[in-house]
Amino acid sequence: MNYNLIVGCGFSGATLANLIASKLNEKVIIVDKKNHIAGNCYDYRDKNGIMIHKYGSHIFHTNNEKVWKFVRQFGDFNQYMHKVIAVIDGIETTIPFNFNTLYDVFPHTLARKLEEKLLEKFEYNKKVPILEFQKQDDKDLKFLANYVYEKVFLHYTAKQWGVNPDEVDGAVTARVPVYLSRDNRYFQDKYQGIPLEGYTKLVENMLNHPNIEVRLNTDYKDVKENFDRLFYTGAIDEYFNYKLGQLPYRSVKFKLIEYNREFYQNNSVVNYPCNYDFTRIHEYKYYLNDKSEKTVIAKEYSEFFEPGKNERYYPIPKDENTKLYNKYLEESKKLENVYFLGRLGDYKYYDMDKAILRAIELFEEIKERK
Ligand code: FAD
Ligand code: UDP
């Protein structure tokens, strides 16, 4: 019988713990230095009965059948389809920038002219990353591209990442492309929703197995037992005591405010690309349609990660960081039966479904080796 230690009770660790315990019938100890499970997806009901996403809004979305089938064993989801509103020049409109946005922010005749030019150049429904969209020859489309770059991406990205859009990996801004469509949803994935009982309950159900022991408030460094395999979903540079240098991360701060009124804004997330120091405001009661005379919002402020001061939230996808990560990856290959995964272990900007898929694939790999 193998004994497995998993570091981190987020989706990556919990997925692996569940698969090892249930499919291989092996013992798993899973630890987290936090006082709760579910990692950054942790949610809880506050005194008003509103489900708060402690680390910011989490919307589950995937096209992957395997992942969808896996998560639904542990809880049902509602049919919430996420939409994001942005305030641009004082106008509330849709993000990603699409044909509806075009008509919201420009006079009708100008919007119509731009729409026609866009449809001459691009296929309907195409998603064009802003850095590609900027490469326009036509004078009117150039004007539009500059407008979208300035009003949607430039200042938001500066707030979120501390740099201009062209200084982070193109994949980051490509997550929110210019969308030549009238589809106002943030994601087009086949499956989307929020777990009816919350993410924490979903992860609790994943960990609820006689072969799994959960230890909270426990740092990896404090685990004394020996194990046959170690799965590490914490930061890979920290594991190696930063011997090759520190991988940079962005952190986020959420300022929670309760109001004595039913709603604060008319959508779950409102982005403020050009105004204020925060990037967006979350209003949590929308996700599960929570009924309360009060409401709770969170203003999201981004900052650099500094050890001891705040938490790691986002790896920063950028060539020099990937190079450093690759050096750590090479180090990790020298270790036997030690595996890294997750947003921090792989230093990858995974959404929940990608973190789960990575854990499922790693499980399939180790199962073969057994
Ligand atoms: P984590 O959830 O970070 O879990 C890692 C765990 O390891 C943590 O609990 C940490 O405490 C623990 N740990 C680290 N080091 C140690 C140690 N030394 N000892 C013990 N424990 C340790 N994804 C979506 O699909 N949809 C969304 O809408 C979405 N919104 C997001 C919004 C924000 C603001 C952020 C930051 C992320 C969002 N994500 C979203 C991404 C999602 O949070 C991640 O995909 C997911 O949390 C990854 O899970 P993980 O287990 O890899 O990492
Ligand atoms: N972005 C932007 N303006 C917006 C929304 C997004 O500039 O109104 C850019 C920004 O660089 C952001 C990236 O697109 O970090 C990805 O946005 P997403 O909403 O996917 O970020 P997450 O929810 O992961 O923080």
Work out the average pLDDT over 14-36. Answer: 98
pLDDT given at position 59: 98
Alpha-carbon gap, residue 133 to 121, rounded angstroms: 11
Q: What is the mean pLDDT of the chain?
A: 97
Q: Evaluate if residue 33 carries a pLDDT over 90.
A: yes
Residue 370 has pLDDT above 70, yes or no: no
Fold classification of 3-37+207-244+316-369 is Rossmann fold (3.40.50)
| 351 C-alpha to ligand 1 centroid (Å) | 9
Cα dihedral 161, 166, 169, 174, rounded to 10, equals 90
Atom of ligand 1 nearest to the CA of 82: 28
Mutational pocket test of ligand 2: of 55, 159, 160, the residue with most ligand atoms within 8 Å of the beta carbon: 160
The full DSSP string for 36-99 is: SSSGGG-EEE-TTS-EEETTS---EEE--HHHHHHHHTS--B-----BEEEEETTEEEEES--H
CA–CA distance, 256 with 303 (Å, rounded to integer): 17
Ligand 2, atom 21: closest residue by C-alpha: 175
pLDDT single digits (tens) 222-259: 998 899 999 999 999 999 999 999 999 999 999 999 99
pLDDT at residue 46, as a whole number = 98
> Residue 2 pLDDT > 80, yes or no?
no
Q: Cβ(59) to ligand 2 under 6 A?
A: no
254 C-alpha vs ligand 2 centroid, how far in Å? 16
Tell me if 57 CB under 6 Å of ligand 1. Answer: yes
Q: Which atom of ligand 2 is nearest to the CA of 156?
A: 7
Which one of the ligands is nearest to 131 CA?
2
Q: Which of 168, 172, 302, 350 to mutate to test the pocket of ligand 2 (most atoms within 8 A of CB)?
A: 172
**CB of 153 shorter than 6 A to ligand 2:** yes
pLDDT, one tens digit per residue, over 159-198 is: 999 999 999 999 999 999 999 999 999 999 999 999 999 9
Ligand 1 neighbourhood includes 129 CB (under 6 angstroms): no
Task: Note the pLDDT tens digit of each residue in 89-122.
Answer: 999 999 999 999 999 999 999 999 999 999 999 9
Mean pLDDT of 259-280: 98
Could you tell me the distance, in angstroms and rounded to a whole number, from the CA of residue 161 to the centre of ligand 2?
A: 10
- Percentage above 90 pLDDT, the chain: 97
Give me the residue spans of the domains in the chain. 3-37+207-244+316-369, 84-179
Q: Is the peptide bond before 165 cis (omega within 30 degrees of 0)?
A: no
Task: Please report the sign of the dihedral spanned by the C-alpha atoms of residue 199, residue 205, residue 206, residue 211.
Answer: positive
Q: Pocket of ligand 1, candidates 7, 339, 351: which has the most ligand atoms within 8 Å of its Cβ, to mutate? A: 351
pTM of the model: 0.97
**pLDDT over 70 percentage in the chain:** 99
Average pLDDT over residues 326-337: 97
Closest residue CA from atom 7 of ligand 1? 8
Identify which ligand lies nearest to the alpha carbon of 355. Answer: 1
Q: What are 281-294's pLDDT values in tens digits?
A: 999 999 999 999 99
**Does the Cβ of 342 fall within 6 Å of ligand 1?**
yes
Coil vs helix vs strand at 366 = helix
pLDDT classification of 368: cutoffs 50, 70, 90: confident
Residue 369, pLDDT above cutoff 90: no
pLDDT reported for residue 148: 98
Is residue 175 within 6 Å of ligand 2 at its C-beta? Answer: yes
Q: Does ligand 1 have an atom closer than 6 angstroms to the CB of 355?
A: yes
pLDDT score of 265 more than 80:
yes
Question: Tokens 């230690």 map to which residue?
Answer: 5
| pLDDT value at 333 more than 90 | yes
Q: Is 7 in the pocket of ligand 1 (CB under 6 A)?
A: yes
What gap in Å lies between CA 161 and CA 316, rounded to an integer? 8
Q: Is 282 in the pocket of ligand 1 (CB under 6 A)?
A: no
